[in-house]
């Protein structure tokens, strides 16, 4: 029959085309593709690949910073360096000031200790010099005629003089000196004026009489000498309303 000998159109399909369709079906229906574990492994591999690529990009960004970021970091470093330098200068200044203050304190302490050693007896010495004044007054109160006439008075006078000399040596041993500025120029730091009078041939301000001797202790005035000074009578009188022509500082 002609119908039986007619070639089937489907049977004439080329074997290669048929094999490709079978392979495609097999890949879709493959047990590996339908396996959840295999799908998970594929996803993890894909994720690792993405992460690896991100890390590479991040590393490249770190290794190759932009010019703007470099400039910003350089400015920040410069500001930090400047701040540290200012802090160092401030600390150096504070240290120098502290050392100077410590040195000044040390010097003041040394001077105060020395002054305490030198002038510790100032109050006692100021009181004891009155004893020396009284001894001198006692000696000067005895007339020379009485001393010659009465040997007992002479012996008493000599004893008082020996006591005075011993007291003066004790003063000198402790840095106390006597001031007797007769015929010297008046000095308001060491002398106290008790009177002034015209004296021919004497320069104005010359000490003509020592009423009471002064004393010093280690170069510091203990008591000023009380003196009388000469006033120059040849000086013209001061203009009216100006007071005396010679002003004296009577405070020692």
pLDDT digits (tens, 9 = 90+) for 171-227: 988 889 999 999 899 999 999 999 998 888 888 889 999 999 999 998 889 999 999
Q: Tell me how long the chain is.
A: 252
- Mean pLDDT, residues 10-35: 44
Report pLDDT for 118.
Answer: 80
- Mean pLDDT, residues 62-66: 54
Q: Per CATH, the architecture of 177-239 is what?
A: Roll (2.30)
Report pLDDT for 219.
Answer: 85
Structure tokens at 224: 């000023």
Rounded CA separation 34/23 (Å): 16
Report pLDDT for 102.
Answer: 92
Report pLDDT for 214.
Answer: 92
Is residue 72's pLDDT more than 90?
A: no
Instruction: Compute the CA torsion angle 45, 46, 52, 53 (nearest 10 deg).
Output: 160
| Domain ranges, ordered by start, for the chain | 177-239
> HSE (CB half, 13 Å, CA atoms) of 70?
7
Distance between first and last Cα of the chain: 168
Pairing of strands 191-198, 225-231: parallel
Predicted structure pTM score: 0.52
| Structure-model confidence comparison of residues 52 and 15, the more confident one | 52
Name the average pLDDT for the chain.
75
| Structure-model confidence comparison of residues 177 and 1, the more confident one | 177
Is residue 59's pLDDT more than 90?
A: no
Is residue 20's pLDDT more than 50?
A: no
Is residue 46's pLDDT more than 80?
A: no
Report pLDDT for 22.
Answer: 43
Report pLDDT for 226.
Answer: 93
Report pLDDT for 74.
Answer: 80
């Amino acid at each position: 029959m002609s119908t039986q000998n007619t070639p089937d159109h489907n049977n004439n399909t080329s074997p290669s085309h048929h094999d490709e369709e079978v392979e495609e079906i097999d890949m879709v229906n493959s047990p590996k593709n339908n396996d959840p574990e295999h799908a998970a492994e594929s996803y993890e591999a894909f994720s690792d690949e993405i992460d690896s690529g991100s890390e590479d990009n991040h590393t490249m960004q770190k290794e190759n910073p932009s010019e703007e970021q470099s400039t910003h970091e350089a400015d920040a470093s410069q500001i930090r360096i400047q701040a540290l330098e200012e802090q160092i200068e401030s600390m150096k200044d504070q240290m120098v000031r502290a050392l100077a203050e410590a040195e000044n304190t040390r010097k003041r302490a040394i001077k105060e200790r020395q002054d305490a050693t030198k002038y510790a007896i100032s109050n006692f010495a100021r009181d004891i010099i009155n004893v020396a004044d009284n001894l001198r007054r006692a000696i000067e109160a005895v007339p020379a005629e009485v001393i010659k006439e009465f040997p007992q008075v002479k012996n008493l006078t000599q004893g008082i003089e020996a006591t005075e000399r011993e007291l003066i040596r004790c003063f000198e041993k402790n840095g106390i000196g006597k001031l007797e500025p007769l015929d010297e120029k008046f000095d308001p730091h060491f002398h106290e004026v008790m009177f002034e009078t015209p004296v021919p041939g004497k320069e104005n301000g010359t000490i003509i009489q020592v009423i009471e001797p002064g004393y010093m202790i280690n170069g510091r005035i203990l008591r000023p000498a009380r003196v009388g000074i000469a006033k120059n009578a040849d000086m013209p009188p001061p203009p009216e309303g100006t007071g005396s022509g010679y002003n004296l500082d009577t405070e020692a």
